[in-house]
Amino acid sequence: MKTKNLFLSLLMLAFIGILGTSCSSSLKPLTPSHFNVTPSPLETVGTEVPATVNGVFPEKWFNSHATVVVTPVLKYAGKEAYGIPYTYQGDKVAGNGIVINRNRGGNVAMNFKFNYEPEMRESELFLRFNAKIKGRPVKLPEVKVADGVVATSALASALNTDPSDAQDAFQRIIQQKQDANILFLIQQSDLRSSELNKSDLNAWKRRVKEAYEDPRQNIDIEVSAYASPDGGLTLNERLAAEREKKTSSYLDKEMKRQDVNTDINARYTAQDWEGFRQLVESSNLQDKDLVLRVLSMYPDPETREREIKNISFVFQELAETILPQLRRSRLTANIEIIGKSDDEIMSLWKSNPKELNIEELMYAATLTDNKNEKEKIYQFITANYPQDYRAWNNIGTSFYREGDLNKAKQAYNRALQVKSLAPEANVNLALLALNDNDTGLAEELLGTASGAKNLEQAMGLLYLKNGQYAQAVESYGDVKTNNAALAQLLTNNYNKAAETLKAIDNPDETTAYLLAIIAARTNNFAEVTSNLRTAIQRNSSMRMQAATDLEFAKYRSNSEFMSLMN
């Protein structure tokens, strides 16, 4: 009996072993034919490498008790990057994985992405399997599903984006205007002494004399006489003309008395409806909306006057508060203040810089191409105008253009210490963030940079880094830069991209390299080699980049191309 039981136990153990072996062997190696990768080869979108793998587990392949974790692995330069793992399980497994029926098999889709690194251009994409049946590991070999990464979008560069200089407010000619009013009694044109002795009229005359005697100021005088619109047109025409004549005569005598020899340009307006409208709009009249509605409804002056007078309760208030202000002559002094010439500004900078105001100093920095001289001017501004952030920002842009990004960042932060929302400094710090592919910080900074110079270029670069190519094209507009052309290239507008690149004032190696990519995509081999040769002449490192760039993969068997790469 014992012998029989022992025999049955051994038989059961053997059966379990066979069953286990059978279960294990049911997970057979998969092949590349079971998977399809989109895109293939992989391609950067902004600063990432996204991909989709569509696969199939064949019928009878998946064990009902199996769990299979599939991890995308990108191998490059001795390193590995990992995508999101996907867990699949048999229909008799208790878990949260995606269930695959043993008899029917199943189609699967895996979406994942890698953070791009330049070495990934030469890479291989594998699917790695971690399989178990009833908790026991089952070895499955990796499956290679794609080769390489097209990294054209990664050519977007913050260092190819011009930083935001804070602008000076220097004006060579400043236009000023000074007004004074002489008021008249209703239906009269006499100049009253109470009006001629008003403080604002005396101040006006002093300003005219001051401008006339200053060789850096030009002046002309206007007289505009008016009648209020509450009389008939004939009466108002006569009144306005008389007021203009008497005002001009008075002013002519006053100018001669002060030895001011300038022309007086005079005119009159019979019914000052525009002035009437402006005064009503800015008034506190209870029914001003009603009056303004009448003005808009009746363009004919006589009809307007009649309809307004018909509103008797309103007209009384108009007669007391608005109409007296329209019975006037307005004196206008148009003054041009002529600023210092470029030579005068630079001479004073060298001899006596404290004679220059801050706007003239900021402007002086734009008059020299000597970076040391520029920095001296900006340092002088920071010492003498410590509450103005602009010089610190522009010191930073000088460092940025020289490639000294650490010093640039320090200067931009000093600008923000002076003014926390300095728009140009925020644009420039955003460029530094984009150089580090920190698009979140860049977006936050650009949100507080309204009105800054080159903001649209920084926004375009942000869109490029985020893979939003159409928005980048729109943001760049007609700007002629490598990044603008790259946005056009990535939206497949090759003709426009080539036009942009050829219009760049100071083309560099990237300019030529992008032209070579356009030529490759449009099957123009002569232009490919010509532009790559130019790019390599400008920067020899472009040879290695072109040799490993999948944009040119179809030419790797071409002897002329390979000669250029060697």
- Beta strands of 319-453 (E only): which ranges? 328-338
Segment 372-417, tens digit of pLDDT: 999 999 999 999 999 999 999 999 999 999 999 999 999 999 999 9
Average per-residue pLDDT for the chain = 91
The pLDDT value given to residue 293: 83
Query: d(Cα 233, Cα 362) in Å, to the nearest integer?
Result: 55
Strand partners, 100: 90
Beta bridge partners of 511: none
* The predicted structure's pLDDT at residue 200: 94
CA separation for the pair 184, 327 (Å, rounded) = 5
User: Binning pLDDT at 50, 70 and 90, where does residue 15 land?
Assistant: very low
* Local structure of residue 181 (DSSP, 8 states): E
Per-residue pLDDT reduced to its tens digit, 295-323: 788 887 778 778 777 775 677 788 888 88
pLDDT at 13 over 50: no
**What count of other Cβ atoms lies within 10 Å of the Cβ of residue 497?**
24
514 in Cβ contact with 501 (< 8 Å): yes
Burial 362-380 (b: 16+ CB within 10 A, else e): bbbbeeeeeeebbbebbeb
Share above pLDDT 90 across residues of the chain, in percent, rounded to a whole number: 82
Q: How far apart (Å, rounded) are the C-alpha atoms in residues 218 and 392?
A: 36
Q: How confident is the model at residue 11 (pLDDT cuts 50, 70, 90)?
A: very low
What's the average model confidence in pLDDT over 461-476? 97
Distance CA 72, CA 266 (A): 84
The predicted pLDDT at position 312 comes to 59
pLDDT of amino acid 271 = 84
- Give backbone dihedrals phi and psi of 541, rounded to 5 degrees, phi first: -65, -15
pLDDT tens for residues 241-275? 999 999 999 999 999 999 999 989 999 998 888 88
Q: Give me 92's structure tokens.
A: 């008799």
CB 160 within 8 A of CB 509: no
pLDDT digits (tens, 9 = 90+) for 211-226: 999 999 999 999 999 9
For residues 38 and 42, what is the distance between their CA atoms, to the nearest angstrom?
A: 7
Handedness of CA 480, 481, 487, 492 (dihedral sign): positive
> Are the C-beta atoms of residues 331 and 198 closer than 8 Å to each other?
no
23-52 residue pLDDT tens: 444 799 999 999 999 999 999 999 999 999
pLDDT of residue 24: 40
pLDDT at 20 over 60: no
Compute the average pLDDT of residues 190-195. 94
What H or E segment, with its residue span, contains residue 486?
A: helix 482-490
The answer on pLDDT for 1 being more than 80 is no
Secondary structure in 3-state letters for 46-66: CCEEEEEEEEEECCCCCCCCE
- Whole-model pTM: value is 0.78
- For residue 84 the two structure tokens come to 């999101």
Furthest-apart CA pair in the chain: how many Å? 146
- Mean pLDDT for 142-148 is 97
